[in-house]
Each structure stands twice: as C-alpha cells, then as structure tokens.
C-alpha cells in the first residue's frame, strides 16, 4: 500500500469520507515523514492549521510496520489521538494495529496507597471519606484503574493524592500489590502495542530511565513522533535539570510519619523528625511573606533569613534521612522514604552550591509553596545524545518556524542534522479573517495600557455580539481587564456572559463557552494553545501584547547572558522567535477549519511600529490586515453578517 493509495482523490480516504478532497500540503508532509522513517533520520516539520498533520504522520508511521511512539504536549490531544484519530486511520487502512494509551502514574489508582489511606482514617470531611469509598469501589471493578473513569470523584479532588502514587513514593517491585498494579498493567500493554500514545513528560521520564538502564519504551520503537513539538524545549529543560519542591518534602514527611506509626512504633524519634521536617519546610515559605516570585540564587545572597531557614531545612532533612537509614530494613515503605530523603538531600546540597556556567540555580515561590531548581542553560548537547540512528525522530507542530526558518529550534534542541520542511495552511485567510492592530494605543508598559486594550476591544465585541476570547500575557492584566469588562459591558447595554480563567477547569470553561450564546472568555496564556472552538461560537480573538517572556525570569536572563557573552544576539536568536511562536499559537485559536470566519485584534503597537515587530507580523497567517476599525466593521457586516453600524457608537471613555 502506498501513500497515493490512501490520499489520492480515488484513494482509501476518499472512499471512507464523503466530501474528501486531497490536500497537497498533507500529502507532501506524509511523504517527508515516510522518507524520514525509511532513512531513520530526524525531521522538523511545521504544518499550518488545517494541513491535517495528524493523518500526515500517522499513516506513513502505521504503514511502516514498526513500533511507533507518539508523544503529545496536552492531554486533550493525547485523548483525541487515541480515541478518535488512531481508530479512524486503523479502520481506513484496514491494518491489524494494536494501540495503547499510557499516562503518568498519578492517573492510575494505587492499591497500596489506597489501602493505607483507608486504614489511616486521616480524612475529617465526610465528603472526602465518601470519595475515598467511591475510589475503592471503582478500583475493584475497573479494568485499567484510570481515574478519568471514576465519574463520581472529580479528577481535581485532593483525595486522589492519597489514592495514587508518585515516582518518589512508588514501592516498585517491593510493593505487595505489584502483580495487580494498574500502572504496571498499562506499561505491559504499551510494551506489547504497535502504537503507543504518551505525553512529553512521560516520554522524558522514560528517556531518563533509559539513561539509568531501566527505560522500556524507547529501545523497542522504530519511530518517535513529537506532536506539539514547540513545547519540547521547556519540558526537556525540566527533565535534564533538578528540583526540590516543598510539596515533595511535605509528602516525604507525611509518608515517613505514616510508615513509622505502622512499621516502627517503638522508634519514637522518627515521627517527631518527620513533623520537624514539615515545620521547617513551611517556615522557609514564610520567609517571603505573601509575595510570589522567581529569583536566581545570587539575588538571595544577602537574605540572611532565607539562608538560615534553608540551612535549618537541610539539617532537618539530613536528620530524618539518618533516622530512616536506621529503620529502613523494617518495611518496604520505610526503605522507600529513606531513598527519597537521600535523593532530596543530595539535590538540596547541589542547589546550595554556586551556579556554574552551564546551569542556573533559582527559586520559584508560589502562593502555597516553592521549588528550588537547577536548570541547564543549554539542552542541545544533552538532547542530541538521545538522537540515535536506530529510529526516526519526527518533530511537528503548527508553530515551529519563524518565516520558514527553523534555526532557532534546531539550535535549541541540538537537531543540527535534521531535515526541515514547512507547509502553509490551506485555509483562505484573506477571505476568512482580518488582522486588526488599533491605532493610538499607549506604550504597552504603561499603567493605562490594559484599560486601553479593553476600550479598543469594546466596539469589536459589539460587532461580534460577544463570541470572543480576550487573551492576556499576564494574570494581573487578565484580572484588570475582567473587572473593566464587568463594568463597561452592562453600561453599554451588552449583556454577554463573561467567563474568567480560574472559575473552573479549562475543560469546564470551554464547555460553558461553547454552550452559552455570545460568551466572552477572559484568559491568560493557559488558553493560548490546545484550544479548539470551531464555528460561529468564536469569531473574535483579542491579544493584548507581544508575548515576550518577562525579562526578570531567572532562566531567560541567564540564557540571554550566555548567548550575548558568546558574541551572538540573544534577542534576535532566542527571544524574538519564541515570542513569534507563542503569538502564532494564540492567533491560531481563531480559524480552526475552512468555514470559520473572524477577526484577530493584536493591540500591541510594536507589531507595526518596531522593526522587530514587523518580522513577527510577517510570521502570522496571511489574513487581511488593517489598522482601521471601519474595515473590521465592514468585514463583520458583509462576511460574517453580524455587524451593525451601532457598533461605531461604542467609543473609548
């Protein structure tokens, strides 16, 4: 069977799907993927929205006959691939291909931790006790133990933390429930399947295990496909780095105390040491008050309170590790806690060492906890070591290149020898969409900027009758805009349902947006990608600023310094392409199929007034472009059919 047999106007897809039309971009990409698989080479491939890239890589991969691992960046795409796309392709090709969906261990019920949570009786709220009983009932009848199948307990419930395992607290082969383990069963199915769908985090976890001699997926596969590959640099940096999180320390203290009360009742020092660790872990967070921040290690050199608290934390962790080593042989659980304490202590001490030229040591303080991170500044060499000639490596996304240039991505990921190809979207953007940059906007860094964005968006919201995403580059701007819209929309007689990121999970908010007529969703970068709303329900996307990463970000700042010290231009090589790719992701929310129509408003004047902005402007889809509100009004009236001259009466206050 050839690709022409599948994709041609009289091929298998044409016979299976009424109205099917061959797309040259899709066929060309499929041939490029086929060549990479046959040649066991890496390929970087950008395919614009509507190309049909999923089928373009799945079909040659399945026809190749080898084992395939597909890694995605988001859970929705992972589920879509496994439950919709793979079954469809398998049916069209009529191939006896076996498939498996493999998730992280926190998605599966753990028999050991579930039993311990039931016996501990640690839940005070009746609702949590009821949920734990529901999970226990579910575990007895479920085939796969995937918590998404337990409909009576929300996936966000904190009870799941006590009924699932983590990499740290899993007992592995020492677990009394090892044979019945849902995670092990899922892994066995994945090893036997022809096609395995994972996510990027799980893939890199397996890659890490391979380095330890225990990885299972990668050595057995012929083709690795990364969809949403633009997310890989960030994920790879996290896995090639090291982290000690307050949550890990609190979980260790909780588990050590629980194991001591069961397996070392006569050793009274251990529960107290666990409580001491818990206290010092929380005390370190109190050093920073209510503030949330991200700081490099060197900016904390004069903070005596922080260093005193950190030293105390290291002392308490060391003490707990010592006590656990004396009692570890008494149970598998205590041995597991001993190993975790030793590993966390080693990372903590490495964090306390001075930064090197190759890493940045930094802290992220959130509202409830913190993370101490050691992040490599250059993952290219680390990742390039994994790219062997035993299999094909496909890296694909709708946003990888900047004006057809992949150099920044290839350089960051160490893919210097990879083939490169890009295909534009088949959508008729000039007739389907308008890109509007309003005139008279203030400096994006000024205090009044967000208010100006809202005022510029109000006439368009009236033209579109809601049905809009307003996407912001910061949570502060998002909340300010929401408050302004709450006041301004009713004052203008516009009674649109107003939704705010954080009022529910992302999936819940999207369901509400799709069901509520004329809804307006105000969100931050959580909604810039992985969101698919087709049809009339979304006809306006507003983006407040060019999405440059904050200049005070510790990792960004260190990378920029390193690139500049090497005599190169970090802004052009690194910051500008990243901003362009992120903006393309946000812009991509508007037109999702060939029948969609709408307006993209990017409020940032730098897009057209700065030389670098024009490079980003050129990287965006080829929509009809304007700075005149009247052009937008005519588009809504003539093309979409919802415009009204009354919209012109909405003027900035």
Q: Which tens digit of pLDDT belongs to each residue from 397-420?
A: 999 998 888 999 999 999 999 999
Q: Which helix (H) or strand (E) holds 42?
A: strand 42-47
Query: How high is the pLDDT of residue 639?
Result: 74
Q: What's this model's pTM, rounded to 2 decimal places?
A: 0.90
Query: How high is the pLDDT of residue 58?
Result: 97
Query: How high is the pLDDT of residue 540?
Result: 96
Query: How high is the pLDDT of residue 410?
Result: 95
Phi, psi of 442 (to 5 degrees): -75, 175
DSSP single-letter state for residue 354: P
- How many whole angstroms separate alpha carbon 23 and alpha carbon 14? 12
Q: Which two tokens stand for residue 612?
A: 């670098």
Query: How high is the pLDDT of residue 219?
Result: 66
- Going across the sheet that includes 242-245, the strands are 242-245, 370-376, 359-365, 293-296
For the chain, which ranges sit under pLDDT 70?
122, 124, 208-219, 642-653
- How many whole angstroms separate alpha carbon 513 and alpha carbon 502? 14
**Tens-digit pLDDT profile for residues 601-615:** 999 999 999 999 999
Domains of the chain: 3-97+194-222+391-423 (3.40.50.300), 105-184 (no CATH), 240-376 (1.20.1440), 429-649 (3.40.50.300)
Q: Which two tokens stand for residue 482?
A: 């929401």
Closest by CA position to 460, among listed 438, 476, 477, 482: 438
- How many whole angstroms separate alpha carbon 249 and alpha carbon 270? 15
Query: How high is the pLDDT of residue 390?
Result: 87
Query: How high is the pLDDT of residue 75?
Result: 80
Beta bridge partner(s), residue 294: 364
**Strand ranges in 200-267 using DSSP code E only, listed in sequence order:** 223-226, 242-245
Phi, psi of 319 (to 5 degrees): -65, -45
Closest by CA position to 471, among listed 542, 545, 546, 399: 542
- How many whole angstroms separate alpha carbon 384 and alpha carbon 371? 27
**Strand ranges in 432-550 using DSSP code E only, listed in sequence order:** 433-436, 468-471, 498-500, 520-523, 540-543
């Amino acid at each position: 069977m050839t690709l022409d047999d599948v994709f041609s106007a009289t091929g298998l897809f044409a016979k299976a799907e009424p109205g099917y039309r061959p797309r040259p971009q899709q066929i060309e990409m499929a041939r490029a993927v086929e060549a990479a698989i046959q040649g066991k080479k890496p390929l970087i491939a950008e395919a614009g929205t509507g190309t049909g890239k999923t089928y373009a890589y799945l079909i040659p991969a399945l026809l190749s006959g080898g084992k395939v691992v597909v890694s995605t960046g988001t859970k929705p795409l992972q589920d879509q691939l496994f439950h919709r796309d793979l079954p469809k392709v398998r049916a069209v090709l009529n191939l006896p291909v076996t498939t498996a969906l493999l998730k992280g261990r926190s998605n599966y019920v753990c028999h050991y931790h579930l039993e311990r949570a039931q016996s501990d009786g640690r839940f005070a709220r009746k609702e949590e006790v009821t949920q734990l009983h529901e999970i226990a009932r579910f575990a007895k009848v479920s085939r796969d133990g995937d918590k998404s199948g337990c409909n009576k307990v929300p996936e966000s419930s904190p009870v799941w933390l006590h009924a699932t395992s983590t990499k740290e607290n899993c007992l592995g082969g020492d677990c009394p429930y090892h044979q019945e383990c849902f995670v092990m069963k899922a892994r066995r199915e994945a090893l036997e399947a022809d096609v395995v769908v994972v996510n990027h985090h799980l893939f890199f976890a397996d890659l890490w295990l391979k380095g330890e001699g225990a990885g299972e997926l990668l050595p057995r596969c012929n083709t690795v496909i990364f969809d949403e590959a633009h997310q890989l640099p960030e994920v790879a940096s996290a896995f090639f780095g090291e982290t000690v999180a307050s949550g890990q320390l609190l979980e260790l203290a909780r588990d050590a105390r629980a194991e001591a009360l069961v397996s070392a009742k006569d050793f009274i020092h251990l529960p107290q040491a666990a409580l001491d660790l818990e206290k010092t872990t929380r005390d370190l967070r109190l050093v920073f008050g209510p503030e949330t921040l991200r700081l490099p290690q060197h900016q904390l050199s004069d903070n005596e309170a922080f260093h005193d608290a950190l030293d105390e934390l290291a002392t308490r962790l060391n003490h707990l590790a010592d006590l656990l080593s004396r009692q570890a042989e008494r149970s598998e659980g205590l041995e597991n806690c001993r190993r975790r304490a030793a590993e966390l202590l080693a990372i903590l001490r490495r964090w306390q060492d001075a930064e090197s030229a190759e890493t940045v040591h930094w802290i992220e303080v959130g509202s409830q906890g913190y993370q101490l991170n050691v992040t490599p500044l250059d993952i290219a060499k680390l990742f390039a070591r994994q790219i062997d000639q035993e299999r094909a490596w496909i890296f694909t996304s709708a946003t990888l290149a900047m004006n057809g240039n992949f150099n920044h991505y290839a350089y960051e990921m160490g893919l210097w020898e990879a083939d490169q190809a890009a295909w534009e979207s088949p959508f008729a953007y000039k007739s389907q969409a308008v890109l509007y940059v309003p005139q008279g906007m203030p400096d994006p860094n000024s205090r009044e900027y967000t208010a100006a964005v809202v005022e510029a968006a109000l006439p368009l919201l009236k033209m579109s009758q809601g049905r809009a995403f307003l996407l912001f580059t910061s949570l502060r701007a998002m909340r300010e805009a929401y408050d302004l819209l709450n006041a301004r929309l009713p004052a203008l007689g516009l009674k649109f349902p107003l939704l705010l990121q954080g009022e529910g999970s992302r999936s819940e908010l999207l369901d509400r947006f799709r069901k509520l007529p004329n809804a307006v969703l105000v969100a931050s970068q959580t909604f810039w990608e992985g969101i698919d709303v087709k049809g009339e329900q979304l006809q306006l996307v507003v983006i407040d600023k060019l999405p440059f990463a904050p200049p005070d970000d510790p990792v960004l700042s260190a990378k920029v310094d390193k690139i500049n010290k090497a005599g190169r231009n970090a802004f052009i090589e690194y910051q500008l392409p990243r901003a362009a790719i992120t903006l393309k992701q946000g812009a991509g929310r508007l037109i999702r199929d060939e029948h969609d129509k709408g307006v993209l408003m990017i409020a940032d004047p730098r897009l057209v007034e700065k030389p670098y902005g024009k490079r980003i402007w050129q990287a965006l889809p080829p929509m009809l472009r304007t700075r005149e509100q009247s052009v937008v009004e005519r588009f809504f009236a003539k093309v979409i059919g919802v415009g009204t001259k009354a919209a012109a009466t909405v003027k900035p206050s």
